[in-house]
Amino acid sequence: MNAPLPGHTVSNPDSAAPVRALLEVDRVSLEYRTPQRVVRATHEVSFAVDPADRFVLLGPSGCGKSTLLKAAAGFIAPSAGEIRLDGVPVSEPGPDRIVVFQEFDQLPPWKTVKQNVMFPLLASRTLGRKEAEQRALHYLDKVGLAAFADAYPHTLSGGMKARVAIARALAMQPKILLMDEPFAALDALTRRKMQEELLALWEEVRFTLLFVTHSIEEALVVGNRILLLSPHPGRVRAEVHSHQFSLHSLGGVAFQQTAQRIHRLLFDEQVDQPQLDLRFQDIRLSC
């Protein structure tokens, strides 16, 4: 077993026992090799996601958020460093890590909503047909779509398709749910509603979430911890604790101040490292 990353064995507030991180990303560099050149997407990124965290990767376009998520899912291997789930190195995709992508057209249109949710359960031989159907209906009920079990995806709104994708992922009962800008294609009102529903679902199921966004507001609402990544190639700028914010905090003074500080941390390139560290302390203290 590898030792937990420094500073990442955390104490569960409800017990004296330390909690081992579920997902450890340990000095991970990720590269794309094209015939012309090598593109470095992230450089020595480290973070650790604890059980039941809502951990957000936040950073500007091209900083490697999606690439990190794909690496955690096992689709891409690090060029340096290691990713571990429950202490075991991630080397390939597995049913313990399910990804929800931005595009809702990830739902095969020839399958009904229920069949869509059942499909990974059957394809991975996780459950037999009857149990898979029961599980699918259970999670469709949780996302408020029980009445649409026999509908086809093209008859659903964008928000409903997002709910199907979430139900399908949760039905697999993964150790960690990986979401890459899952609400980015939705209008602002639906996006807010989906954030609210995701949080309500988390209150009920307490799944572990790794969530990618480039919206500071969404990061503060959805996450309890936010990792800030610098522009290309992505490096860790800071980690911000944000468990105290919810949709009700929107527009509040503390929320706005934290959002502004995150913005400065992400984009103020004049700030050198020692000052960054001070600001990081400041954020953590004031949150």
Ligand X SMILES: Nc1ncnc2c1ncn2[C@@H]1O[C@H](COP(=O)(O)OP(=O)(O)OP(=O)(O)O)[C@@H](O)[C@H]1O
Provide the binding-site residues for ligand X, judged by CB under 6 A. Answer: 32, 34, 39, 41, 59, 61-67, 214, 232
Residue 283: CB minimum distance to ligand X, A:
21
Decide whether 112 or 213 has the Cβ nearer to ligand X.
Answer: 213
Decide whether 99 or 136 has the Cβ nearer to Mg ion.
Answer: 99
Residue 91: CB minimum distance to ligand X, A:
20
Cβ-based neighbours of 81, under 8 Å, separated by 6 or more? 25, 26, 27, 28, 29, 44, 45, 46
115 binds, among ligand X, Mg ion, none (CB under 5 to 8 A by kind): none
Decide whether 9 or 46 has the Cβ nearer to ligand X.
Answer: 46
Give the C-alpha distances (Å, rounded to integers) separating 285 from 9, 183, 254, 279. Answer: 20, 30, 12, 10
Give the C-alpha distances (Å, rounded to integers) separating 214 from 122, 142, 181, 201, 218. Answer: 34, 27, 8, 22, 8
Query: How far is C-alpha 13 from the chain's CA centre?
Result: 23
Decide whether 63 or 156 has the Cβ nearer to ligand X.
Answer: 63
Decide whether 171 or 226 has the Cβ nearer to ligand X.
Answer: 226
Residue 196: CB minimum distance to ligand X, A:
23
Residue 66: CB minimum distance to Mg ion, A:
3
Residue 117: CB minimum distance to ligand X, A:
26
Place of tokens 């809502």: 54
112 binds, among Mg ion, ligand X, none (CB under 5 to 8 A by kind): none
Residues forming contacts to Mg ion in the complex (CB under 5 A) are: 66
15 binds, among Mg ion, ligand X, none (CB under 5 to 8 A by kind): none
